[in-house]
């Protein structure tokens, strides 16, 4: 009985540890350092800032496109994008970009990365800004 309980505990622990969001073997949620590396190594990536236009005007990642996640027409705006392109999403804290990533996945975008940290942390990590 003790063996069965230990095995169940192991399986549960293993299951929870593998909950990192991935698509096709690619890690989706990235730290600030990983974001910096990705942007520097991938010139074709589209950087999406999902903050409000006001937040975007206060500062943004170099080359970023602003599509406000809180806008009522967010899904209509992303529908105009190329679903085959590669996107990196970020916001102020990682919350809105995580939700926006989920919406984009449900709209057939497959090449998505989400910054789990916000704009300030990305700037502090040395990601180029405007």
The CATH number corresponding to 27-123 among 3.30.2020.30, 3.90.1310.10, 3.40.250.10, 3.60.150.10 equals 3.40.250.10
Spatial separation of the C-alpha atoms in residues 110 and 124, rounded to whole Å: 29
Least confident of 16-25, 26-35, 112-121: 16-25
Beta pairing, strands 86-90 & 46-49: parallel
Q: pLDDT digits over 22-57, tens only?
A: 444 467 999 999 999 999 998 899 999 999 999 999
Task: Domain ranges for the chain, please list them.
Answer: 27-123
pTM assigned to the model: 0.80
Phi, then psi, of 27 in degrees rounded to 5: -70, 130
Sign of CA dihedral 40, 43, 49, 53: positive
pLDDT cut 90: percent of the chain above it: 78
């Amino acid at each position: 009985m003790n063996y069965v309980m230990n095995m169940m505990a192991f399986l549960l622990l293993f299951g929870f540890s593998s909950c990192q969001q991935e698509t096709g073997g690619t890690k989706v949620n990235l730290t600030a350092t990983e974001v910096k590396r990705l942007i520097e190594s991938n010139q074709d990536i589209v950087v999406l800032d999902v903050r409000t236009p006001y937040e975007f005007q206060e500062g943004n990642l170099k080359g970023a496109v602003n599509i406000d996640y809180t806008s009522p027409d967010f899904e209509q705006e992303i529908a105009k994008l190329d679903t085959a392109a590669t996107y990196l999403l970020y916001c102020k804290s990682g919350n809105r970009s995580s939700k926006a990533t989920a919406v984009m996945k449900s709209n057939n975008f497959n090449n998505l990365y989400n910054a789990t940290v916000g704009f300030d942390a990305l700037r502090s990590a040395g990601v180029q800004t405007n």
